[in-house]
Structure 1
Amino acid sequence: MSHRSRSLTFLCIGAALVSLGLSACFPVSLRPRSSSGGSSGGSSGGSSGPTSSVLDLYVGQCIQNPGVDSITDVENAVCTTEHWGEVFHVMTITSSQMPSEDDMDDMAWDACVDAFDAYVGRPYDESELDFTWYVPSQESWAEGDRAIQCIAFDRDGDSLYQPVRNSGL
């Protein structure tokens, strides 16, 4: 699927979520850019482990799939055991006013694609991985959240069992 058709597909999904009012319920919005449905479903592990606020995610952190019902917190995972994704880039929005959803999506797309090769060791277009991101919601922006976090995960929706940093996946 081309970047353009993938982007169009997920803009439609994003519009549907907004129309359902889901983005206003959570302090951070999930904006998927994958065809494998990376933002749906629950955790891909057995029991629940320690959690982190999505506001505190850091580069190199591995997590379980938060699904769509628990976007405020994510279950932490050890990168050498079964996990859903890995944070590979965090950028700060420098604008004094909150950008539109489309502008944040464009910023996130550009930042994630630009950081992908250096972190994973393979260009995004050639990778077995896909990515998604978290961006501030209106509520979290009002509280000072300015972070866009990029998360890599398996393109086919399978679990990862190793860190993606320098993996060449």
Structure 2
Amino acid sequence: MPSQSAPVRRRPLKAAAVVVLLAALSGCGLGDAQEPPRDESGAVTEAASAGAYAIKVGDCLNNPRAERLTEVEFVPCDQPHELEAFAASNLPDGDFPGDTEVAAKAEEFCLAEFKAFAGIPYDDSALELIHLNPTEESWSGEQDRELLCLVGAKGEPTTGTLKDSRR
């Protein structure tokens, strides 16, 4: 099950949570988890809880800050939501590089993608950045290699995308 790690922000006084995905759920993996309702373009069409592995770039979510993350609340992006998935990448196959290195790679990737998404550098932004990444258990049990970047307005819901928000 996912666990929450220590904050990893470069800006002082604005701590961001880092959540890691772990696949093992007493006998069933998150890779088999249900999907939220989506239209033909892949956009979520109604609020629904679904497995954490169902998150795709462009999805909007509520409350994915749990010590153990197995399910998240998907919300259509035209409704108030806490976070938006804005970038994803996969780490190369091989041995698990360790929690510290995986978190560092996720942070590096998400910070690099942030400016292209939001329109300003992260250090100049008031937004919160969170990344989801594999753990040793999900790496070996689910072949999980995905780094997933999420962004939100700290402490307040947003409606619509934060893309090019320059916030």
TM-score where L is the length of structure 2? 0.71
What do residues 44-101 of structure 1 show as CA deviations (whole Å, max 9, x unaligned)? xxxx931232222111111001231551111101222210100111110104111111
Alignment of 1:58-73 (within 5 A): 58-68=56-66, 71-73=69-71
Q: Would the alpha carbon gap of residues 39 and 75 (structure 1) be closer, same or farther in structure 2, given more than 3 Å must change?
A: farther
Q: Would the alpha carbon gap of residues 39 and 68 (structure 1) be closer, same or farther in structure 2, given more than 3 Å must change?
A: farther
Q: Give the match's secondary structure for 2:106.
A: helix
Q: Which residue is 1:153 aligned to?
A: 152
Query: RMSD over aligned Cα, in angstroms?
Result: 2.3
TM-score where L is the length of structure 1? 0.70
Structure 1 residue ranges without an equivalent (≥5): 1-25, 41-47
Contact 2:132–2:149 (CA under 8 A) maintained in structure 1: yes
Contact 2:87–2:150 (CA under 8 A) maintained in structure 1: yes
Cα distance in 2, alignment partners of residues 147 and 30 from structure 1: 16
Structure 2 residue ranges without an equivalent (≥5): 20-45
Alignment of 1:1-169 (within 5 A): 26=1, 28-31=2-5, 32-33=7-8, 35=14, 38=17, 49-68=47-66, 71-142=69-140, 143-155=142-154, 157-169=155-167
Flag the structure with higher strand content. 2
Q: How many percent of aligned residue pairs carry the same amino acid?
A: 26
Q: Give the match's secondary structure for 1:139.
A: helix
Cα distance in 1, alignment partners of residues 87 and 114 from structure 2: 8
Cα distance in 1, alignment partners of residues 160 and 8 from structure 2: 22
Amino acid at match of 1:147: E
